[in-house]
Structure 1
Amino acid sequence: CDPKADSTINLLGGEPLRPVMNYMREEDEEPERLEDISKEGFGGVLCIETGGPTPGLGCAGRGIIATFQLLEDLKLFETWKPDVVLYDVLGDVVCGGFAASIREGYAEKILVVTSGEMMAL
């Protein structure tokens, strides 16, 4: 969840990825296929960007939860069967941030990683 939607840009060789929230705003519907919102990046990593709400409107935490629910609907975890799932979320989101992934049961542990470098992932 990042309004700049550049968490996966290094994994995708500098190519931007259309965020889930942008897709839903622009298409006025949820994506029907995982391929509509994802790209396979370096090392076979499946990349998905949540993005953020329209500036000044909405709540980034709700965007995180909406994306989690969408990934369940698209059967991401059953299809890809990932060994590890990384969420790069803002820690300062008042209405959820990284706490949303634990509260909603999508994560068991949180590791806080900070970096002065561009895109820690």
Structure 2
Amino acid sequence: MVSAISEGIKISIETMFQEQYSNAENDHFMFAYKINIENLTDFPVQLMSRKWFIFDSIGETRIVEGEGVVGLKPILTPNESYTYVSGCQLKSEIGSMRGKYSMLNLHTERLFDVEIPEFELIVPFKLN
């Protein structure tokens, strides 16, 4: 698990290779990731958008941006957390992701960015 705190928001990430949805012969490697977002501030926040940088070891980097996460813009009160699961497809067995969430302080209506720490996406047999 990878964890980091940025702007008072703790991001923790677990990754899982999805063998049943992958096909090595077609350069299709599917990964799931579970993210827990914990509000360690003393004010409520709302996750407004995300921006991902997805690196594939074939030398390709993709940028994915959008509103909310998994179709939602969750609100987290102080000490509350929100967990979701999503996925990423790579063309190789090794890659990584990093990014940022744009959060809204619901007291001041100020937007601020929370860094999502880099995490690896590796097919388990590549670790041997």
TM-score by length of 2: 0.30
Identify the structure with the greater strand proportion: 2
Identify the structure with the greater helix proportion: 1
Larger Rg: 2
TM-score by length of 1: 0.31
